[in-house]
């Protein structure tokens, strides 16, 4: 996959997701799609973000929008995380960082005074033709899901 930028079509890709599902971008043609990248399962910010998307899931459905969370965690970790919090959407495992690299979300970050390589919390909105129409980088969890919903509402009028 090559770098993905706003205004361009995202090339079709496949990846493993929870419940032994195989995610294919092309399966979502005709729908909006939210891909949200988060650092790690079962951490406070990532849990809150997932819960916020879950809380508003029916609103996304009404707007013809699919949701997938993506991190470098394993499928087994994702499955436990999804079941623990009863997320109504699937989580995509990207342990080799292929998808993360394409969306340019792997960054050097400071954690407890040390530089570490990890996922910068980011969300991407694709239109029904798989064109990237909006991106949020360095996401702050508070009110983020509401911001995503508002942009979808503006585009789906």
> In whole numbers, what is the pLDDT of the chain averaged over residues?
93
- Look up the domain containing 42 and give its range: 30-155
Is 46 a catalytic site residue? yes
Number of structural domains the chain divides into:
1
Task: Report the pLDDT value the prediction gives residue 116, as an integer from 0 to 100.
Answer: 78
Asked whether residue 56 is domain-assigned, the answer is yes
Asked whether residue 145 is domain-assigned, the answer is yes
Reduced DSSP (H G I as helix, E B as strand, rest coil) percent helix, strand, coil of the chain, to 5: 30, 30, 35
Asked whether residue 25 is domain-assigned, the answer is no
Model confidence band, residue 2 (pLDDT cutoffs 50, 70, 90): low
- Model pLDDT for residues 6-56, shown as the tens digit of each residue: 999 999 999 999 999 999 999 999 999 999 999 999 999 999 999 999 999
The residue annotated as part of the active site, out of 34, 46, 93, 148, is 46
Q: Which pTM does this prediction carry?
A: 0.94
Asked whether residue 23 is domain-assigned, the answer is no
Task: Please report, for the domain that includes residue 35, its CATH number.
Answer: 3.40.30.10
Asked whether residue 70 is domain-assigned, the answer is yes
Q: Is 26 in contact with 12 (CB distance < 8 Å)?
A: yes
Task: Report the pLDDT value the prediction gives residue 127, as an integer from 0 to 100.
Answer: 96
Closest CA to 48 of 2, 11, 85: 85
- Model pLDDT for residues 7-16, shown as the tens digit of each residue: 999 999 999 9
Residue 99: which residues within 8 A CB-CB, separation 6 or more?
Answer: 1, 13, 15, 70, 92
Asked whether residue 39 is domain-assigned, the answer is yes
Asked whether residue 53 is domain-assigned, the answer is yes
Q: Is 82 in contact with 18 (CB distance < 8 Å)?
A: yes
pLDDT at 1 over 60: no
- Model pLDDT for residues 69-118, shown as the tens digit of each residue: 999 999 999 999 999 999 999 999 999 999 999 999 988 777 678 887 88
Asked whether residue 7 is domain-assigned, the answer is no
């Amino acid at each position: 996959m090559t770098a993905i930028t706003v205004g361009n079509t995202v090339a079709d890709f496949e990846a493993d997701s929870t419940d032994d599902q195989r995610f294919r971008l092309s399966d979502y043609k005709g729908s909006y799609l939210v891909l949200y990248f988060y650092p790690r399962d079962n951490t406070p910010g990532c849990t809150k973000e997932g819960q916020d998307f879950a809380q508003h899931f029916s609103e996304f459905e009404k707007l013809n929008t699919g949701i997938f969370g993506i991190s470098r965690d394993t499928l087994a970790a994702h499955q436990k995380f999804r079941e623990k919090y009863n997320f109504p959407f699937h989580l995509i495992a990207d342990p080799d960082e292929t998808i993360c690299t394409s969306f340019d979300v792997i960054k050097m970050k400071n954690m407890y005074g040390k530089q570490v390589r990890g996922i910068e919390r980011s969300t991407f909105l694709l239109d029904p033709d798989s064109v990237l129409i909006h991106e949020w980088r360095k996401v702050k969890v508070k009110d983020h899901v509401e911001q995503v919903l508002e942009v979808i509402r503006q585009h789906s009028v």
